[in-house]
Amino acid sequence: MAKTIKVLIAVSVLVASAAASTDLFAGKWILNTQQSNYPTGACPKRMVIEMKTVGTGIHYRSDTTYANGAMTRAEYTANYDGKQAIVMGTHGMLLPVFLKRVDRHTVVASYTKALQVVARSRRVVSKDGMVMTITTTAKDKAGKSITTIGVYQKAVERKSSYVHGGKEKAALERN
C-alpha cells in the first residue's frame, strides 16, 4: 500500500513537472512597439518580460524603459489559481495581481486596489508560441476606460557551435 502511494506521488510530480515545462508563457518576451497600440505618448521605448515556470504558476519580471529615459521593474510570483500575489516594483509595492488560466494559450491578470479590480490584462500566446498579445483595460484619472495592446515577440535561444583554440564550444544566441 505504501509503495502504491509513493508511485502515485511520483507520477503526480512528473505530470505536474511536464505541464509546467510546457507553459507557453515561460520565456523572454520583447515588446514590438510598431505592432502595439498605446495612447499617444504612453508606449514604452522598450519593455522586456521574462516569465519562468514555478510550481503551478510563474515568476514574472518586466523591465521597462520610457521615452524620457525613466526605467521601471515589476516582479512577482503567482499561481494560476486566482489567489492574490504581491507585486514589487522599482519604488516598492504595486497593485496586487490575481492570475487565472483560461486555457493553454490564455491567462487573465486582474489588478486590484481596495478589493476592487482596477485593471485587467488578457494575455494570449499565439498557436506557434512566438507572439504574446497583452490587452489591458483600465481607467484613467478621469475615470475614462483606456485599452492598451502590447504585442511581444518571444526571444528564441538557438544553439550554435564555434571553434575556439582548437576546441568546439556551444554558445547561445538570443534574438
At 92 the pLDDT is 93
Domains and CATH numbers, the chain: 2-174 (2.40.128.20)
Instruction: With cut-offs at 50, 70 and 90, classify the pLDDT of residue 22.
Output: confident
Residue 8 confidence (pLDDT) above 80 = no
| pTM of the shown model | 0.78
Q: Is 164 helix (H, G, I), strand (E, B) or coil?
A: strand
At 95 the pLDDT is 93
The stretch 20-24 carries a mean pLDDT of 74
**Average pLDDT of the chain to the nearest whole number:** 84
Q: How far is CA 55 from each of CA 17, 108, 132, 167, rounded to the nearest angstrom?
A: 8, 18, 22, 38
Angle CA(49)–CA(52)–CA(54) in degrees, nearest 5? 140
At 5 the pLDDT is 33
At 16 the pLDDT is 40
The stretch 119-145 carries a mean pLDDT of 95
pLDDT in tens, 103-118: 999 999 999 998 889 9
pLDDT in tens, 71-101: 999 999 999 999 999 999 999 999 999 999 9
At 160 the pLDDT is 56
Number of other residues whose CB lies within 10 A of the CB of residue 135:
15
Q: What percent of the chain has pLDDT over 90?
A: 70
Instruction: With cut-offs at 50, 70 and 90, classify the pLDDT of residue 140.
Output: confident
At 157 the pLDDT is 73
